[in-house]
Amino acid sequence: MKLLKIALKSACNRKVSLSLTMFSIAISIVLLLGVDTIRKQAKNNFINTISQTDLIVGARTSPINLLLYSIFHIGNATNNVSYASYKQIAALKQVKWSVPISLGDSHRGFRVMGTNSDYFRYYRHSNTQSLHFQQGVEFSDVYDAVVGFDVAQSLNYQLNTQIVLNHGIVATKYSEHDDKPFRIVGILKKTNTPVDRTVLVSLQGIEAIHVDWQSGKRSALKISAKKARQMGLEPKSITAFMLGVESKITLFSLQRKINNHPNEPLQAIMPGSTLASLWQTMGQFEKVLMAVSVLVLFTGLMGLLTALLTTLNERRREMAVLRAVGAHAYHIIVLFVLEAILVVMGGFLFGIAMLYAMQAIMQPILADSYGIFLSLKMLDGEQIIILLVALLLAIILSLIPGLIAYKRSLQDGLMVKI
């Protein structure tokens, strides 16, 4: 205990340089643990976003692209799928259920997805969870909308709130479908998937708002909301659809059949396989990030070593005095080790505090742009091991100046020549 007190008091003498070292270690911890946390949570989110769906079909494109835009709402579809092809495939004997989806509109930064009531029946996430309503019900009228939890929360929406959808993903005044407002009839419970940030409407609703946009921009010949409602609103095309099959062993042949669909180029993917290959790509990137973080930690520890070594000379008298009042030679080493531990632990505490602060700040940004939902959690086993290894390394490194001081103190005695 006395040794600890001495170590603390001695450190106070050099608090500026030691604080800076502590700060650099803190930053390296933020980087190391931050990268690890985001990586794990992103993966978790991705993995849990969709389950129990056997095939996803869209216009022919890369499988990863199809997965990203149809399920994660990242990126855009390259082309649409004709409703006729969808109906043809959905009617195949191997298909048990199907859910059409239509993307392309947005509402104040949130994606709008057109679908039908089968979405609420068949969509699953986190292995077995289906969608539940916090308030309200599914859409039934053409202009009904159901919003995800985050949409309602961040925009302060309640049931019966009127909202206006926007053409395209970025909101501008001139691209709003403001002549056809929608009414919120349902708000979903939190799912921790991109569904939270989605506005769900019926396929007919999507058709209705585009009825006078057929040329790609709003037509001068306006069709009112009331009139549109009475028009036949059967969609002509959708963006993608999800399928469940009767027997999984037929998946490959069904996938092949869809990929060879004669009327238009389609791509059918098995979400599990595509997700796995996406993760294989990401895995390389993850490794690079971890390597960089480890190097940064190494830099921080080098800083600590430098701080301890450069002050060795100044502390020769201190060591000599301590020896004179009865400190053993090995106490000198212990002093250095204690100082290293103090600095590193200080760095850890500071770093972890910064980490949580940054996570709290980044939470909405990551969710908005990347669909990554960070939940502030305790450090997990792996992360604690990282910290312990860093501490161990610091202790080992501190033995270097410790041993040097030890040797010198043996040679010097009280006659210190500074």
Partner 1 sequence: MMVLVSGCSDTDDNKDNLNENSLTKEEVEFEAPTEIKWDDLVAEDYQPEKIIAKYQKQIDKYDAEDYSPEAEAFYNKINAELNNAPVNETIHNQQIKLPGFIAPLTQDNGVITEFLLVPYFGACIHVPPPPINQTVLIKVAKNNGIKIDDSFGAFWISGQIRIDNKKTDIGEAGYRIENAVIEVYDE
Query: Which residues bind to partner 1, rule: CB under 8 A?
Result: 43-44, 47-48, 51-52, 54, 63, 93-94, 127, 246-253, 255-256, 259, 267, 269-270, 272-277, 279-280, 283
C-alpha triplet 290, 292, 295: angle, nearest 5°: 110
Residue pointed to by tokens 């792996």: 382
Minimum gap (Å) between residue 79 Cβ and partner 1: 17
Say how many CA atoms lie within 13 Å of 99 toward its Cβ.
Answer: 23
Minimum gap (Å) between residue 283 Cβ and partner 1: 6
Minimum gap (Å) between residue 279 Cβ and partner 1: 6
Q: At what angle do helices 63-71 and 271-310 cross, to 10 degrees?
A: 90
Contact between 186 and 133 (Cβ < 8 Å): yes
Minimum gap (Å) between residue 303 Cβ and partner 1: 34
Q: Give CA torsion, residues 284, 286, 291, 296, to 10 deg.
A: 150
**For partner 1, the closer CB: 127 or 160:** 127
**For partner 1, the closer CB: 281 or 369:** 281
**For partner 1, the closer CB: 272 or 413:** 272
Residue pointed to by tokens 């070593």: 305
**For partner 1, the closer CB: 78 or 94:** 94
**For partner 1, the closer CB: 47 or 223:** 47
Minimum gap (Å) between residue 246 Cβ and partner 1: 4
Minimum gap (Å) between residue 42 Cβ and partner 1: 12
Using only the alpha carbons of the chain, give its radius of gyration: 31
**For partner 1, the closer CB: 249 or 414:** 249
**For partner 1, the closer CB: 46 or 86:** 46
Minimum gap (Å) between residue 124 Cβ and partner 1: 10
Sequential DSSP letters for 14-40: THHHHHHHHHHHHHHHHHHHHHHHHHH
Q: Give CA torsion, residues 24, 27, 29, 35, to 10 deg.
A: -150
Residue 375 burial (C-beta neighbours within 10 Å; 0-12, 13-18, 19+):
exposed
**For partner 1, the closer CB: 127 or 214:** 127
**For partner 1, the closer CB: 283 or 413:** 283
If we measure between CA atoms, which residue out of 177, 230, 232, 229 comes closest to residue 199? 177
What number of H helices and E strands is found in the chain?
13, 15
Minimum gap (Å) between residue 37 Cβ and partner 1: 16
Contact between 294 and 388 (Cβ < 8 Å): no
Minimum gap (Å) between residue 281 Cβ and partner 1: 11
- State how far the Cα of 238 lies from the Cα of 82, in Å rounded to an integer: 6
- State how far the Cα of 160 lies from the Cα of 140, in Å rounded to an integer: 14
Residue pointed to by tokens 């086993």: 381
